[in-house]
């Protein structure tokens, strides 16, 4: 019966083993997954242990005992007839039937135990583990390495190349340890990093410390490249070892390598390494919830609400709104600038923030027609000079109700049309109102108001007369016939006199100025003539002094005639008759306005045609021939690169040795390639490095030459197309043939 | 019988006969007085016999005997053993000859009237041995590989290199790659599973010098099937000397002048400021001015760019000078297109067809519209198109004497530059100007029989030169003998036998600038191409050879012992006879 017992024991241990494998599979899957993604062994081991432990706790392989196995077999092996437990009972203590059964079970087990599988799911576990590893691999392909990853995990050793062609007899110094510490600028809040990789990616302003430990004596260590030939400080740390250290703040991206000179003046050089200086990006501003241009009616709630999303790579120092309010129009415009803080104060050093603000135009004391320009300005924490970013400018306007509808400004440089043009319409409105109110007014009042309107009409006509340049035409002396000494504050004509009291004066016709200045400057002696002139107010020729073309002038005259009639009837207290004239005048004025627009378009220089016989007949004594000379030779910036390719090809084909001249060419090619390499370091760095090897005395294998040639060819830009004239050969027979051919033509 | 006797040295018959007669007369004169008449006659006949025997020894008489010759088969590389077996079954007396290169087969071929050649054929340089032989050639079908190749062994920097080839019997989808020196693959073509595929590979070389490119064939799994060298000489492009003349400055001239000057060409621009006053712009050349054109001052230029109005405004002497330079010395004249050119085109040899078009597109840049004048050039006998588009000729030149007058119908082509299509602009002008400009005359023109030579195999070359007795030197030390063409005095040919692979140069000693470089490859390179060429050359050679009749008579020399015996006997008699009669 021991036989059956042994089978069950075996089965039990097999079950336990399978469960352990299952747990381990989960652990391995998770561990490898973790390692693929993080590439950190310690963490992966930890994950492996944790997951395996957890799986063991769930699966509990120690719970599997012979009892559970016998129960399990009873359930699953029908032929065991629920009697496997009999096997654990002493044969002697069993009845005859029991003994028989025990024997039977033992035989059954021996035959069939292998058909029953223990209740484990190793397959599932294996699939899970496999999928985890697969997912980890796929994930690792997509993961972008962090920006400032300097490859800490991979230990790199500086490769020393002897620059002499003869292998030194003595043992070269051994580089035991190398370290590069990058100290980022304090404002970045990045911790210093120490790495053994000599290729650096550092933020602008970072300080780099190199520390190289040598075994054996080194006489001199220099850092070559980056425009420096910096020597390292050497310090003996031990009896037989040295430490070389140096530091540098790189200003631009570039390349460097180390040169070593050992105690016996043997020189060595290292590979070329890259320093990439990452610029601190200026902050970015995105303004939301607002249109570029907002306008408000005066009845609106004049509040602008917006939010600004500000981001920076290392931290924002400050952000504010710069608002400018403009009041008035044209020459009288006034600006007021204000700095407005956001609703909530800015947290210094934050990388991303959303600032909101609601600006009340009323709080800015803005009135109708006023405009508000504003933008957001932000600076980051970069030292010593922060990066400043400005957003786009946004506009807000409170619409002016009165200034709408006048269109001349749009086409003319100066506003030549005075505001009085508008009052013809006003006069009409007032006249109509007067007619309407006739019944409610006394006759005296009616006559008075009609007379006043007549006066206004006259004033308007006089103003137009000024445009005509012929005040005298009106038959009324305008400003000059009013005695200046009798100036009265309440004088209703004050606004219409010929003095510089109108706001728009400077935009008007210039002549007035001239008169004024003449009067001031001419002095006593000329008083007589000036007095005379005062009365005449004579422009040399009224026909010439107008601003308008003939037809326009006719129209204006016509309008003024209409105004005359309108005034006449108003003075006669007959507004009904006056009204049609006023309308006519208004219509004419409108036309003038429109033709004024056309006038601007017409302006331009139309030269008179030149007679053919006059052409080229002028005096040309003083005109001399012009000579110009310019050379575009050696425009090709990659001459040495092309030359090097040819040298390398010769070297590859003929196995000839490189001369000193060739090496000079390689050095120059290296300089040319470095220009390209700064733009695409990853592509050309290796070529640059190998090109440097070629300039040294040591003989390089063919593969290096081949790869340098390949790299140079790849780096070279395409040759642009240009006319070519290859050499040709024309024999006597050919030239005879072409001549003969053309004779027959 | 007598007419079947021939002498191998027929050219010596008369001198020999004369000599013989003279000797005989001398003998007769000597013997005349001494002996009796009967003895004299006998001795005269014997002497004649002796002399005739000596003469026949000298002239080598033969008789032609009709002979039925045998049939033989020549086994060359890749011969077909089944074919040989079937030939053997029909002709039991079949002789089998195994071909070895550079071997004299004449003795074996003499007795053969019908020769079968099986396999890849004999080397091209051995073909002469089969002249006047009746040969049935059973070529071996070429297996697979690149069997034809065409490319320019000399390319100017900036020109594109196009390699065209024919791939035979590709069983799987192979790839043909063009590899630059430095093992950089620059172009590739997939070969379809077809009997024959023509492929084209392109590249723009970037540096001058002698390079070894490679044509590599890979199978679908990326395994290299073959790698063959492609020697290439990339030369620096020359500098053009261009004169641009305009009565008033135009944008077209301005941009063209900038382009040419920046490309390093020598440019002189003369634009008129006013009457007799000019602006001279010298680019990449020493400061000079040019007022009236003379043969002398125009000889400094390879091409003149001007427009019709300016040309018409020139003095008659200037025009004559231009015409002389164009017609007699090959200078180019490029007329900038305008309405006047279209009107007066016939004056310059062009004929225009008015056409309602505003733009044309080049096949290489189908999306770029080149604004043109509403006319196209018609294809005349002496008008050669330079740039052809689907809708008409964009640029052409008319041959005038040795020179060319060309035009480009693009209107305000500088717009192409402004719209960023520099490539098109550069292509237009460089093609048009390159085509019409005066070519610098080289003293020597080489033409080689193949793109590359094989080691230890004869390689033929031709050269044309005006040098009276050229002396060609290979690799600066071996003088190559030349053969002059009988009718063309300036054509010479020669053969070299290169003995090592690598670059070989040929040079005419009298013209050091005439250096021609070529590459020598070893026997394993370009195998398929070489075999294909050998097979086709063999096939065409035997086709042209008319054999003599199968029963051709062969010359059988008389045994010289007869003549010798007759001579000895005759001499013996003449020596003995006087002694016998004396005694």
Dump pLDDT digits (tens) for A406-458: 444 444 444 444 444 446 888 888 888 888 888 888 888 899 888 888 888 88
Q: Which residue on chain A is closest to B467 by alpha carbon?
A: A731
Of A369, A398, A427, the residue at which a domain comes to its end is A398
Q: Which of B179, B206, B427 to mutate to test the interface with A (most CBs of A within 10 A)?
A: B206
Q: Are residues A319 and A372 in the same domain?
A: yes
Per-residue pLDDT band at B495 (split at 50, 70, 90): very high
Closest chain B residue to the Cα of A706, Cα to Cα: B182
**Whether the Cβ atoms of residue A692 and residue A704 lie closer than 8 Å to each other:** no
| CA distances for A108 relative to A13, A674, B140, angstroms | 20, 83, 76
CATH numbers and ranges of domains, chain B: 2-65+557-582 (no CATH), 145-237 (2.60.40.10), 241-436 (3.40.50.880), 444-521 (2.60.40.10)
Residue B438: closest CA among chain A residues belongs to which residue?
A: A725
Residues in B 460-479 with any Cβ partner in A closer than 8 A: 464-466
State how far the Cα of A317 lies from the Cα of B44, in Å rounded to an integer. 141
Using pLDDT thresholds of 50, 70 and 90, give the confidence band for residue B492: very high
Same domain, A448 and A586: yes
| Range picked from A284-298, A528-542, B164-178, B332-346 for highest mean pLDDT | B332-346
Q: Give the per-residue pLDDT at A395.
A: 84
pLDDT in tens, B231-244: 999 988 888 899 99
The whole-angstrom distance between residue B302's C-alpha and the CA centroid of its chain comes to 28
Torsion angles phi and psi, residue A621, rounded to 5: -55, -40
Contact B181 A709 (CB under 8 A): yes
Mean pLDDT of A11-38: 88
Contact B157 A719 (CB under 8 A): yes
Tokens for A409? Answer: 């400004």
Predicted local distance difference test score (pLDDT) of residue B508: 92
Task: Write down the pLDDT at residue A480.
Answer: 40
* Contact at CB, A720 and B208, closer than 8 angstroms: no
Distance from C-alpha of A107 to C-alpha of A597, rounded to nearest angstrom: 120
Partners of residue A625 in chain B, C-beta under 8 Å: 273, 277-280, 289
Q: How close is the nearest chain A Cα to the Cα of B469, in Å?
A: 16
| Cβ-Cβ contacts under 8 Å, B156 against chain A | 724, 726
pLDDT digits 0-9 by tens, A32-47: 888 888 877 888 899 9
Q: What is the mean pLDDT of residues A363-369?
A: 82
Higher pLDDT, A234 or B521: B521
Query: Mean per-residue pLDDT for A252-256?
Result: 77
Q: What is the predicted pLDDT for the residue at A549?
A: 54
Q: Do A728 and B261 touch (CB under 8 A)?
A: no
| pLDDT value at A543 more than 70 | no
Sheet holding B175-180, edge to edge: B154-156, B224-235, B209-218, B175-180, B184-190
Do residue A165 and residue A190 come from a single domain? yes
**Who contacts A652 (Cβ-Cβ below 8 Å, separation ≥6)?**
A702, A705, A706, A709, B181
Closest residue of chain B to A623, computed from CA coordinates: B277
CA distance linking residue A515 with residue A540, whole number of Å: 12
Q: What part of B 294-323 touches A (C-beta under 8 Å)?
A: 302
Q: Which one of A626, A672, A725, A731 would you mutate to disrupt binding with B, by most B Cβ within 10 Å of its Cβ?
A: A725
Rounded to an integer, the average pLDDT of A738-744 is 74
How many angstroms separate the CA atoms of A665 and A638, rounded?
11
Q: Which of A200, A209, A206, A158 is nearest to A181 (CA)?
A: A209
Per the domain annotation, does A738 fall within a domain?
no
A642 interaction partners in chain B (CB closer than 8 Å): 206-208
pLDDT of amino acid B282: 92
Q: What is the pLDDT of residues B61-103, one digit of tens each?
A: 887 777 667 788 888 888 888 888 988 888 888 888 888 888 8
Of A398, A426, A452, the residue that ends a domain is A398
What mean pLDDT is predicted for residues B329-354?
88
User: Do residues A290 and A263 share a domain?
Assistant: no
Write down the pLDDT at residue A502: 43
3-state secondary structure of B561: helix
Which domain-ending residue is among A278, A293, A319?
A: A278
Residues B135-141: contacts with CB under 8 Å, at least 24 apart: B135/B542, B135/B545, B135/B547, B136/B542, B137/B538, B137/B539, B137/B542, B138/B80, B138/B83, B139/B535, B139/B538, B139/B539, B140/B77, B140/B78, B140/B79, B140/B80, B140/B535
Q: Which domain holds residue A314?
A: 284-398
Q: Cβ–Cβ of A728/B273 closer than 8 Å?
A: no
Q: Does B42 score more than 70 pLDDT?
A: yes
Supply A596's token pair: 């004024």
Neighbouring-strand partners of residue B478: B474
Residue B510 to residues B444, B468, B486, B507, B518, Cα–Cα distance (Å): 10, 10, 22, 9, 20
Which residue in B23, B8, B22 sits closest to B58, CA to CA?
Answer: B8
Per-residue model confidence (pLDDT) at position B244:
94
Position B311 scores a pLDDT of 92
Check whether A366 has a pLDDT greater than 80: yes
Asked if residue A547 belongs to a domain, the reply is yes
CA distance B293 to B311: 11
Tell whether A41 and A131 lie within a shared domain. Answer: yes
- Domain count across chain A: 5
Task: Decide if pLDDT at B452 tops 50.
Answer: yes
How far CA A503 is from CA of A329, A332, A496, A679, B397, in Å, comes to 12, 9, 12, 61, 73
Do residue A432 and residue A580 come from a single domain?
A: yes
Whole-number mean pLDDT of chain B?
A: 86
Total beta-carbon pairs less than 8 A apart between chain A and chain B: 194
Classify residue A724: in a domain, yes or no: no
In terms of CA atoms, which chain B residue is nearest residue A631?
B284
Same domain assignment for residues A455 and A582: yes
Distance CA B469, CA B474 (A): 16
The pLDDT-based confidence of B550 (bands split at 50, 70, 90) is low
Residue A627 domain-assigned (yes or no): no
Bridge partners for B330 per DSSP: none
Kindly state the percentage of chain A with pLDDT values over 90.
2
Cβ of B208 and A623 within 8 Å? no
**pLDDT for the residue A460:** 84
Task: Flag the least confident range among A519-528, B11-20, B36-45, B197-206.
Answer: A519-528
Q: Indicate whether A139 pLDDT > 70.
A: yes
> Judging by beta carbons within 10 Å of its beta carbon (0-12, 13-18, 19+), is residue B134 exposed, middle or buried?
buried
Query: Do B441 and A729 lie within an 8 Å CB cutoff?
Result: yes
Question: What percent of chain B is predicted at pLDDT more than 70?
Answer: 96
For residue A653, list chain B residues with Cβ-Cβ distance below 8 A.
210, 212, 502-503
- Mean pLDDT computed over A246-256: 80
Position B320 scores a pLDDT of: 93
In a domain, A739, yes or no: no
pLDDT attached to residue A595: 65
Any domain includes A31: yes
Q: Are residues A187 and A133 in the same domain?
A: no
What residue of A is the nearest CA neighbor of B331? A725
CA–CA gap between residue A7 and residue A3 (Å, rounded): 6
Alpha-carbon gap: A646 to the closest alpha carbon of chain B (Å): 5
Q: Does some domain include residue A537?
A: no
Asked whether residue A516 carries a pLDDT value surpassing 70, the answer given is no
| pLDDT for B142 | 67
Q: What is the pLDDT of residues A587-631, one digit of tens each?
A: 888 887 776 554 444 555 667 777 777 776 777 778 888 888 888
Residue B485: is its pLDDT beyond 80? Answer: yes
Give the mutation candidate from A694, A724, A726 for the B interface (greatest B CB count, under 10 A): A724
Lowest mean pLDDT, pick from A150-159, A184-193, B17-26, B176-185: A150-159
- Whole-angstrom Cα distance, residue B439 to residue A496? 86
Residue A314 shares a structural domain with residue A391: yes
Three-state secondary structure of A98-138: HHHHHHHHHHHHHHHHHHCCCCCCHHHHHHHHHHHHHHHHH
Strand ranges in A125-173 using DSSP code E only, listed in sequence order: 161-162
In chain B, which residues have their Cβ closer than 8 Å to the Cβ of A654? 502
Interface of B with A in 270-289 (CB under 8 A): 273-284, 286-287, 289
pLDDT of residue A745: 57
What's the pLDDT score for residue B333?
A: 94
Contacts of A712 in chain B (CB under 8 A): 182
- Asked whether the beta carbons of residue A642 and residue B284 sit closer than 8 angstroms, the reply is no
State yes or no: pLDDT of B576 exceeds 50. yes
B427 touches chain A (CB under 8 A): yes
Instruction: Give me the percent of chain A exceeding a pLDDT of 70.
Output: 77
Which range scores top for mean pLDDT: A110-124, A230-244, A540-554, A572-586? A572-586
Q: Where is average pLDDT lowest: A466-470, A655-659, B413-417?
A: A466-470
Q: Is residue A149 part of a domain?
A: no
CB contact under 8 A, B264 and A722: yes
Calculate how close chain B gets to A135, using CA atoms only, in Å.
Answer: 29
Please give the average per-residue pLDDT across A274-288, as a whole number: 84
Q: Is B381 on the interface with A (CB under 8 A)?
A: yes
pLDDT of A634: 54
- Are A30 and A111 found together in one domain? yes
Three-point CA angle B117, B119, B124, nearest 5°: 75
Higher per-residue confidence, A208 vs A470: A208
Using CB atoms, which residue from A630, A719, A732 is nearest to B206? Answer: A719
- Specify whether A443 is located in the same domain as A553: yes
What pLDDT shows up at residue B318?
93
Q: Quote the pLDDT of residue A475.
A: 43
Which chain A positions have a beta carbon within 8 Å of B441's beta carbon? 727-730
Phi and psi of A617, rounded to 5°?
Answer: -110, 10
Partners of A623 on chain B (C-beta within 8 Å) are: 273-274, 277
Measure CB to CB from residue B207 to each of A626, A645, A741 and give the nearest one.
A645
Residue tagged 């340098």 (tokens): A708
> Residues A444, A588: one domain?
yes
Question: In angstroms, rounded to a whole number, what is the distance separating the alpha carbons of residues A65 and A87?
Answer: 14
């Amino acid at each position: 019966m021991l036989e059956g017992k042994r089978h069950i024991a075996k089965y039990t241990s097999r079950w336990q083993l399978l469960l352990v494998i299952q747990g381990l599979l989960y652990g391995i899957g998770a561990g490898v997954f973790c390692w693929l993604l993080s590439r950190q062994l310690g963490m992966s081991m930890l994950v492996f242990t944790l997951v395996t432990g957890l799986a063991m706790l769930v699966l509990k392989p120690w719970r599997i005992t012979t009892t559970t196995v016998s129960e399990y077999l009873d359930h699953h092996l029908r032929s065991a007839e629920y009697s496997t437990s009999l096997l654990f009972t002493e044969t002697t203590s069993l009845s005859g039937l029991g003994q028989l059964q025990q024997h039977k079970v033992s035989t059954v087990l021996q035959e069939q135990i292998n058909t029953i599988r223990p209740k484990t799911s190793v397959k599932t576990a294996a699939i899970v583990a496999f999928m985890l590893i697969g997912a980890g691999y796929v994930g690792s392909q997509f993961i972008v390495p962090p920006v400032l990853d300097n490859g800490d995990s991979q230990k790199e050793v500086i490769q020393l190349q002897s620059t002499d062609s003869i292998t030194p007899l003595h043992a070269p110094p051994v580089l035991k340890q190398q370290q590069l510490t990058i100290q980022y600028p304090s404002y970045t809040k990045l911790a210093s990093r120490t790495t053994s990789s000599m290729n650096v990616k550092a933020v602008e302003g970072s300080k780099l410390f190199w520390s190289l430990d040598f075994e054996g004596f080194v006489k001199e260590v220099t850092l070559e490249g980056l425009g420096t030939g910096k020597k390292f400080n050497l310090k003996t740390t031990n009896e037989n070892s040295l430490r070389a250290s140096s530091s540098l703040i790189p200003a631009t991206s570039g390349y460097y390598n180390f040169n070593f000179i050992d105690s016996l003046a043997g020189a060595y050089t290292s590979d070329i390494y890259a320093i990439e200086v990452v610029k601190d990006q200026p902050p970015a501003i995105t303004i939301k919830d607002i249109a570029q241009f907002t306008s408000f009616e005066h009845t609106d709630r004049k509040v602008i609400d917006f939010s600004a999303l500000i981001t920076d790579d290392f931290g924002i120092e400050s952000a504010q709104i710069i608002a400018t309010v403009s009041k008035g129009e044209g020459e009288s415009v006034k600006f007021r600038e204000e700095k407005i803080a956001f609703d909530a104060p800015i947290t210094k050093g934050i990388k991303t923030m959303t600032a909101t603000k609601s600006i009340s135009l009323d709080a800015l004391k803005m009135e109708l027609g006023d405009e508000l320009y504003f933008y957001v300005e932000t600076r980051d924490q970069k030292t010593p000079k922060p990066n400043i970013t400005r957003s786009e400018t946004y506009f807000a306007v409170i619409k002016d109700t009165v200034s709408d509808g006048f269109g001349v400004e749009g086409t003319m440089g100066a506003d030549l049309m005075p505001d009085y043009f508008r009052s013809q319409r006003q006069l009409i409105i007032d006249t109509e109102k007067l007619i309407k109110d006739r019944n409610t007014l006394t006759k005296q009042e009616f006559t008075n108001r009609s007379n006043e309107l007549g006066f206004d009409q006259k004033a308007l006509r006089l103003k137009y007369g000024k445009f005509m340049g012929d005040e005298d035409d009106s038959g009324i002396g305008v400003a000059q016939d009013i005695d200046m000494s009798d100036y009265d504050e309440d004088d209703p004509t004050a606004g219409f006199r010929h003095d510089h009291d109108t706001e728009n004066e400077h935009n008007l016709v210039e002549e007035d100025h001239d008169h004024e200045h003449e009067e001031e400057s001419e002095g006593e002696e000329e008083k007589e003539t000036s007095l005379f002139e005062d009365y005449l107010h004579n422009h040399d020729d009224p026909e010439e002094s107008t601003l308008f073309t003939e037809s326009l002038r006719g129209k204006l005259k016509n309008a003024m005639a209409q105004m005359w009639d309108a005034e006449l009837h108003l003075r006669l207290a007959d507004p009904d008759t006056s009204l049609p004239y006023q309308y006519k005048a208004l219509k004419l004025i409108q036309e003038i306005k429109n033709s004024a627009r056309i006038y601007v378009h017409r302006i331009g220089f139309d030269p008179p045609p030149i007679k053919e016989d006059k052409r080229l007949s002028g005096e040309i004594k003083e005109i001399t021939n012009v000579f110009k000379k310019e050379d575009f030779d050696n425009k090709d910036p990659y001459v040495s690169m092309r030359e090097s390719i040819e040298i390398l090809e010769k070297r590859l084909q003929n196995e000839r040795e490189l001369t000193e001249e060739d090496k000079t060419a390689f050095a120059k090619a290296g300089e040319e390639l470095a220009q390209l390499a700064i733009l695409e370091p990853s592509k050309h760095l290796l070529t640059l490095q190998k090109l440097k090897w070629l300039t040294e005395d040591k003989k390089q294998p063919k593969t290096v030459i081949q790869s340098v040639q390949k790299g140079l060819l790849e780096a070279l830009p395409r040759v642009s197309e240009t006319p070519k004239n290859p050499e040709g050969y024309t024999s006597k027979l050919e030239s005879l043939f072409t001549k003969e051919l053309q004779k027959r033509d | 019988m007598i007419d079947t006797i021939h002498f191998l040295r027929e050219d010596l018959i008369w001198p020999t006969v004369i000599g013989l007669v003279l000797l005989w007369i001398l003998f007769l004169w000597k013997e005349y007085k001494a002996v009796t008449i009967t003895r004299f006659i006998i001795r005269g006949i014997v002497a004649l016999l002796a002399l005739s025997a000596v003469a026949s020894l000298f002239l080598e008489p033969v008789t032609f005997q009709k002979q039925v010759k045998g049939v033989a088969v020549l086994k060359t590389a890749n011969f077909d053993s089944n074919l040989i077996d079937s030939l053997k079954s029909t002709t039991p007396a079949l002789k089998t000859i195994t071909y070895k290169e550079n071997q004299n087969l004449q003795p074996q071929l003499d007795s053969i009237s019908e020769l079968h050649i099986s396999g890849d054929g004999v080397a091209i340089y051995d073909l002469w041995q089969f002249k006047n032989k009746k040969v049935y050639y059973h070529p071996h079908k070429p297996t697979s590989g690149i069997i034809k190749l065409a490319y320019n062994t000399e390319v100017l920097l900036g020109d594109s290199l196009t390699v065209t080839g024919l791939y035979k019997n590709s069983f799987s989808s192979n790839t043909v790659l063009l590899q630059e020196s430095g093992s950089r693959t620059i172009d590739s073509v997939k070969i379809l599973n077809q009997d024959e595929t023509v492929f084209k590979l392109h590249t723009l070389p970037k540096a001058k010098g002698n390079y070894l490119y490679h044509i590599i064939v890979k199978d679908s799994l990326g395994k290299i099937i073959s790698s063959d060298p492609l020697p290439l000489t990339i030369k620096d492009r020359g500098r053009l000397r261009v004169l641009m003349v305009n009565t008033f400055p135009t944008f077209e001239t301005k941009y063209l002048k900038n382009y040419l000057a920046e490309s390093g060409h020598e440019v002189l621009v003369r634009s008129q400021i006013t009457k007799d006053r000019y602006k001279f712009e010298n680019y990449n050349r020493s400061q000079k001015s040019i007022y009236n054109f003379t043969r002398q001052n125009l000889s400094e230029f390879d091409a003149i760019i001007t427009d019709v109005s300016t040309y018409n405004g020139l003095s008659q002497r200037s025009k004559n000078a231009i015409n002389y330079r164009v017609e007699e010395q090959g200078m180019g004249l490029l007329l900038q297109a305008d309405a006047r050119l279209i009107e007066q085109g016939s004056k310059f040899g062009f004929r225009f067809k008015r056409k309602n078009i505003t733009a044309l597109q080049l096949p290489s840049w189908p999306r770029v519209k080149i604004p043109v004048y509403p006319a196209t050039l018609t294809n005349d006998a002496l008008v050669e198109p330079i740039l052809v588009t689907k809708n008409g000729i964009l640029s052409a030149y008319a041959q005038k004497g040795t020179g060319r007058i060309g035009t480009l119908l693009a209107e305000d082509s500088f717009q192409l530059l402004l719209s960023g299509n520099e490539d098109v602009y550069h292509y237009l002008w460089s093609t048009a100007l390159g085509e019409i400009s005066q070519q610098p005359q080289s003293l020597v023109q080489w033409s080689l029989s193949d793109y590359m030579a094989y080691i230890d195999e004869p390689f033929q070359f031709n050269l044309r030169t005006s040098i009276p007795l050229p002396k060609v030197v290979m690799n600066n030390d071996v003088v190559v003998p030349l053969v002059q063409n009988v009718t063309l005095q300036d054509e010479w040919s020669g053969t070299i036998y290169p003995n090592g692979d690598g670059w070989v140069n040929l040079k005419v000693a009298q013209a050091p600038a005439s250096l021609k470089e070529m590459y020598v490859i070893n026997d394993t390179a370009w195998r398929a191409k070489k075999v294909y060429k050998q097979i086709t050359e063999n096939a065409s050679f035997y086709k042209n050879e008319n054999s003599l009749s199968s029963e051709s008579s062969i010359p059988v020399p008389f045994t010289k012992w007869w003549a010798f015996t007759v001579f000895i006997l005759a001499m013996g008699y003449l020596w003995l006879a006087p002694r016998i009669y004396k005694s």
